[in-house]
Amino acid sequence: MTEITEIINNVKILEKQQNTAMLELSKYEGQLEQEMKRLKSEYDLNSLKELISEVDKFEKKLRKIDEQIESKYNKLKEMRNDAEG
């Protein structure tokens, strides 16, 4: 194969790869757009930054609830031990 033919074949291969990449990019952009619409409609959030902020708030609330549950459990356990002892 001549050098020019090899270059042409390589260009064709690169064009196919580029087309495939562009199709995948378009697909992922569409998925992102759909998820952003869902984020807005279901949670009234406009960005991933807002979502992260909300997740952080929920995690803090969950930690507080976990602490309360653990505290109440320990009190009940102590009361039971006192009643048995």
How much is the pTM? 0.60
Share of the chain above pLDDT 70, in %: 98
Together in a domain, 38 and 53: no
* pLDDT above 90 for 85: no
Q: Is the dihedral of CA 28, 37, 44, 39 positive or negative?
A: negative
Together in a domain, 68 and 85: yes
Q: How confident is the model at residue 1 (pLDDT cuts 50, 70, 90)?
A: low
How many domains is the chain built from? Answer: 2
Q: Which domain holds residue 60?
A: 46-85
- Here the tokens at position 16 are 């196919």
- The string of pLDDT tens digits covering residues 11-28 is 999 999 999 999 999 999
Rounded to whole angstroms, the Cα distance separating 43 from 45 reads 5
- The string of pLDDT tens digits covering residues 45-83 is 999 999 999 999 999 999 999 999 999 999 999 999 888
Check residue 25 and give its pLDDT. Answer: 97
Q: How confident is the model at residue 84 (pLDDT cuts 50, 70, 90)?
A: confident
Rounded to whole angstroms, the Cα distance separating 56 from 50 reads 10
Together in a domain, 35 and 55: no
